[in-house]
Amino acid sequence: MVQILSLIHNKNGSLSSMPYLPADVTNLKAKYRRESKLADIEATIAYFDEKAKEDQDFFYRIRLDDEDRVRNMYWVDGAARRAYKHFRDCISFDASYLTNMYKMPCAPFIGINNHNQSLRSSDAGSFGMKTRMGIEEVFPLAVHRHCRWHIIKKAEETLGPFFADCPDLHKAFQLRVDHSLTVEEFERSWMAMIETYQVQDHETLASLWEKRMYWVPAYFMQCFFPFLQTIQRSEGFNAVLKRYVSPGSELQQEANTALKQPKLLTHLPMERQMSKIYTNMIFNK
């Protein structure tokens, strides 16, 4: 920036001819950041109001604390609300994303449409168990599943050295978690593992057992979780929170399904039937 301005100020482009230094530009940028930070909530509300004028289904709420500071905000665009009526079978909720400036989690609610695309609304603010209790109150029949990847990752941070000394136990642990087909099979084989390796007093294994109905795949065999094993889908959305997502992507997929016949590999009647029922994206998966 300073080099460009120096060319404008003097044909020679010498920095020494400038009435200010690069540090002055840095200080000016910092001043603008401070000023914009004080006005960001006003800008956010103005943006939400403008969206509400354009889309009658756009919804947002902002909650303040006792000192009139923003405690949390929730928003959802009209397209996501309309899609929810058709694709509400499975919703991912992830509160692990943390913004840097305000230390407030930004938690997207992620749904999945018939093209395996993410449908999203977001909640930003401070919350904990109340959110979980609220979900259970509003959706009493919902099946809650925790992110298995995070649970295993946290557990193995503690179990890592323990498993290193007993690799057979590690193999037995993975076998029971990943390959049990029924609840009865898992619970029976887990108890047998505990007994065989005499680890009844291990705190991490006991904690995993207590929470087993929230993360072990055997407890979800009859439930609908389309291509959703971890919060990877939410994390992928977090990566593009500050980028524009084209609203035409779903329309493009609809057009592909309507105009392009997917390639058949077996030519069996079932394959041909599914190619007419599923969208191209799901059929190819």
**pLDDT per position as a tens digit, 92-116:** 887 766 655 666 777 888 888 888 8
Least confident span in 131-135, 211-215, 228-232, 240-244: 240-244
Provide, rounded to the nearest whole percent, the portion of the chain with pLDDT above 90: 27
DSSP class of residue 120 equals E
> Any bridge partners for residue 119, and if so which?
111
Distances 104 to 57, 81, 130, 151 between C-alpha atoms, Å = 26, 24, 16, 22
Cα distance between residue 257 and residue 115, in whole Å? 9
Beta strands in 44-166 (DSSP E): 59-64, 70-76, 91-93, 106-112, 118-125
3-state secondary structure of 251: helix
**Interval 149-207: pLDDT, tens:** 888 888 888 888 889 889 999 999 999 999 999 999 999 999 999 999 999 999 999 99
Residues 6+ apart with CB under 8 A from 278: 114
pLDDT averaged over every residue in the chain: 80
Residue type, 79: A
State yes or no: pLDDT of 285 exceeds 90: no
Find all residues with CB under 8 Å of 122, minimum gap 6, and list them.
Answer: 74, 75, 76, 106, 107, 108, 109, 241
Q: Which of 52-66, 82-96, 130-144, 243-257 has the highest mean pLDDT?
A: 52-66
Give me the pLDDT at residue 21, please: 75
In whole angstroms, give the CA distance from residue 165 to residue 152: 18
What's the CA gap between 74 and 70, in Å, rounded? 11
pLDDT (tens digit per residue) in 192-230: 999 999 999 999 999 999 999 999 999 988 887 776 655
Q: Which amino acid is at 34?
A: R
Q: What was the pLDDT predicted at 101?
A: 62
Residue with structure tokens 């003097």?
10
